[in-house]
Amino acid sequence: MNFYVMTLFPEMIEQGLGTSITGRAIEKGYISVKAVNIRDYSTDKYRHVDDYPYGGGAGMVMQPGPIFDCYTDITGSMEKKPRVVYMTPQGKVFSQSIAQELAKEEDLIFLCGHYEGVDERILEEIVTDNLSIGDYVLTGGELPAMVMIDSISRLVPGVLSNETSAQYESFQDGLLEYPQYTRPEEFHGKRVPEVLLSGHHANIEKWRHEKSLERTYMRRPELLAGVELSKKDKAYLDDFVDKMEKGLQE
């Protein structure tokens, strides 16, 4: 899968995604990340890419010309025009299901804004998806683009060395992940739950699923509305809630 990022800070993208798992995925050729500097498409002798807003007001607005030329350069030799994602707090909030949908694309372009915004006409012309990473305002679109590229990349076959791990982690089945333990068996007086030491695969799976249910109920109960619980799960949770209410749980 190929990611293209139109940005004023290409080194931020290259450094951020060039390390750890995404870095290895780039090296191995599972994904490619090309950060393209919008400033290289300025036609101004001072390499300006922004100007004052028509109608007045604070801040500067990114001009449409350099962004359009940058986009044309990226897509010029492509047969099919890829989706263009604009990072904006005005967009739909990014989620695991959006990551899954975007992971099906062969090419994706991200447009990172800065200053007070981007000229509306270029957004109308090239952007297919407006996405946000949450209801807070950042100084630019680079971090959101990196967040999205990271979460989409890990869904690309081969990127995670353990193929099953993308499947099992939090959100993939709508539930939060169960707690994990490693050595030592006892730490500060707390023992690893016995079932995990038992080697009994079915019991371990059952315990993990129950912990996922409990954890989702305790930490993100609103997620349960989007999950199809089996009769057994519902009964387990009802029982858990009962015990909680009676103060028998931790």
Q: Which of 134, 157, 158, 179 binds ligand ADE (CB under 6 A)?
A: 134
**Contact window for ligand ADE (CB under 6 A) among 50-58, 132-140, 177-185, 223-231:** 132-140
Whether the CB-CB separation of 58 and 27 falls below 8 Å is answered with no
Distance of CA 15 to the CA centre of its chain: 17
* Residue with smaller CB distance to ligand ADE, 138 or 235: 138
Does 65 bind ligand ADE (CB under 6 A)? Our answer is no
Q: How far apart are alpha carbons 59 and 50 in whole angstroms?
A: 10
**Contact window for ligand ADE (CB under 6 A) among 28-36, 74-82, 136-144, 222-230:** 136-144
User: What DSSP string describes 3-31?
Assistant: EEEEES-HHHHHHHHSSHHHHHHHHHTS-
Q: Which of 132, 151, 212, 216 binds ligand ADE (CB under 6 A)?
A: 132
Q: How far apart are alpha carbons 244 and 250 in whole angstroms?
A: 8
User: What DSSP string describes 54-95?
Assistant: TT--SS-EE-HHHHHHHHHHHHTT-SSPPEEEEEEEEEEEP-
Per-residue string for binding with ligand ADE, 76-95, x by CB under 6 A? Answer: -----------xxx------
Whether the CB-CB separation of 133 and 96 falls below 8 Å is answered with no
Does 141 bind ligand ADE (CB under 6 A)? Our answer is yes
In the complex, minimum distance from the CB of residue 177 to ligand ADE, in angstroms, rounded to a whole number: 25
DSSP code of residue 187: E
* Residue with smaller CB distance to ligand ADE, 110 or 178: 110
In the region spanning residues 142 to 161, those forming contacts with ligand ADE, defined by CB under 6 A, are: 144
Q: Which residues bind ligand ADE (CB under 6 A)?
A: 87-89, 132-134, 136-138, 141, 144
